[in-house]
Amino acid sequence: MPDPASPPTSPVPLAALLAREDLGLLHVAGPSEAAVHWVHTSEMADPYPYLLGGELLLTAGVQLPGTDPDLYVARIVEAGGAALGFGVTPVYDTVPAALAEACDRRGLPLVEVPPRTPFTAVARAVWGLMAQARHRELRRVTDAQQGLASAAARPDPVPAVLRQLATRVGGWAGVLGADGSVAYEAGAAPSAAVRTSLDALAHVVRPAPERLVSSATDTVDGTHLTAYALANRATLCIATPHREPGDHTVAGVAVVLLSLLTAERQGADEAARSSALVRMLLGEEAADVAPLLGDAPWTVVHARGEGPPPALGSPLVDVQPESVRILLPAGHEPAPHPGWTLGISAPADPRQLPAAEAQAARALRRAEATRSPLVRHRTSGLAGLTDPAEAASYARELLAPLGDEKSSPLPRTLRSWLSLHGSWDRTAVALAVHRNTVRQRIARCAALLDADLDDMDVRAELWFALRSAEAHSGQKE
């Protein structure tokens, strides 16, 4: 079964939908537990090409006459479908027994959708429950970030941060030194078995010449264990009786704070960077403080994944709920990080960092679409032969019919589609939409631009225009 391209939110338990009296859903066959990431309706005899995985597939059974129910269910399972919802009437009065038997054999949850419940009501319920879960998660993460930041500003910051972390995740948190001894801890002490396993995990993530692992996890006696690498070969270890959505983000914030708090004193370079940050916070323009960052090139990294953020040896890390941005000074070479997808900009001087930011974001999108752990920005030689301002002016005029990217999805869809060589499926994954949506948007682009997108010359011109517009926008920000 392929891994579903899950959206960045918690799935909805099938049990939560079955408990909704307004929907009236009835569990008929297969397991009663499933994680629903989205809802899709299809009457195709073979829905496999239209599924990304994790769907509650809704159907009225129009395709079932003349179709092998077992093969139909097998294709849904093969595509990674989470569950099948069968609407009784107008085609069937009851769920076909053969379909129920096939779902039992294949382990696919089957629910009956009553005549009074439109399929759109089921979809609306899923999005509503998903939005509620996401709101709770974001609020919890935001509160935790504020608590951890406040703790880091106290006179004895490391113990204060650990107390906050242990409270937020509902378990034990400790910082182990390079020799494995507990330097600081907070929360209920773990059992001997758990402590032994934590020591083993700490050894795994502790940097050594032959390995570099940022985090490691294990489960012992029902306790979830995680170890994160910190500065100076120290380790953050966490033991919790359960895991909640957002725990990895909360722990990631603690990792960044504790890495800064346990690092060695700042040298001249670090002091200059801190001075630049302070001046910007006090209102100075980025261009005015850029000289403090030196003339050496910088690299911008955009990352998305699970676990602690990959600091890559730099303290300049911006942890956000759905992604991480990292600023690397000269001499730091980014490398693939387990569990994370990285987009790397080209080296840039401090005044070109906005453009490098756009490059890193574009590289991350390409990495996710191609399922690559790391993608670096590639500088186009031909693009360097044109004046950037003139190219951007022409690009704005050419792309004007598509609308502004903030108000229209067409420019972003066209850029992703062109960058992925016209692949409908890969573009759909990159944008987290259905491939039919991609087809409709590209057809709309062709109509608005009055262009033949099958013509390679047209594609190349549009690609350079999109790149020029994006680069010019990044430089102005």
pLDDT tens readout for residues 201-243: 888 887 654 445 577 888 888 888 888 888 777 889 999 988 8
Across 377-399, average pLDDT: 70
215 and 305 part of one domain:
no
Tokens of 169: 């995740």
Say whether both 28 and 76 belong to one domain.
yes
For residues 54 and 99, membership in a common domain is answered with yes
Question: Higher-confidence residue: 360 or 99?
Answer: 99
Helix axes 157-169, 119-152, angle to 10 degrees: 160
Are 113 and 199 in the same domain?
no
d(Cα 296, Cα 281) in Å, to the nearest integer? 23
User: What CATH number corresponds to the domain at position 209?
Assistant: 3.30.450.30
User: Looking at residue 476, what is its pLDDT?
Assistant: 43
pLDDT of residue 247: 84
Q: How confident is the model at residue 87 (pLDDT cuts 50, 70, 90)?
A: very high
Residues 369 and 354 in one domain: yes
Q: Does 143 map to a domain?
A: no
Residue 70 and residue 57 share a domain: yes
pLDDT at 144 over 70: yes
Range(s) of the domain holding residue 158: 154-262
255 and 277 part of one domain:
no
Mean pLDDT (whole number) for 378-390: 60
pLDDT, tens digit, 9 for 90 and up, residues 286-320: 667 667 666 668 888 999 887 777 767 677 788 77
* CA dihedral sign, ordered 187, 189, 195, 199: positive
Higher pLDDT, residue 109 or 309: 109
Main-chain phi, psi angles of 152, to 5 degrees:
-65, -20
Average pLDDT of 238-265? Answer: 82
Q: 83 falls in which pLDDT band (50, 70, 90)?
A: very high
**Per the domain annotation, does 136 fall within a domain?**
no
Q: Which of 211-225, 348-362, 382-396 has the highest mean pLDDT?
A: 348-362
354 and 323 in a single domain? The answer is: yes
Span 145-163, pLDDT tens digits: 889 888 888 888 889 999 9
Q: What is the pTM of this model?
A: 0.47
Question: What local confidence, expressed as pLDDT, does residue 323 receive?
Answer: 81
Is a pLDDT exceeding 80 seen at residue 469? Answer: no
Banded model confidence at residue 399, pLDDT cuts 50, 70, 90: confident
Q: What's the chain's average pLDDT?
A: 83
Domain boundary pick from 315, 342, 376: 376
Instruction: Answer yes or no: do 122 and 16 share one domain.
Output: yes
392 is a domain residue: yes
Residue 144 within a domain: no
Is the per-residue pLDDT at 84 higher than 90? yes
The structural domain count of the chain equals: 5
**Taking residues 105-111, what's their average pLDDT?**
96
CATH number of 113's domain: 3.40.1390.20
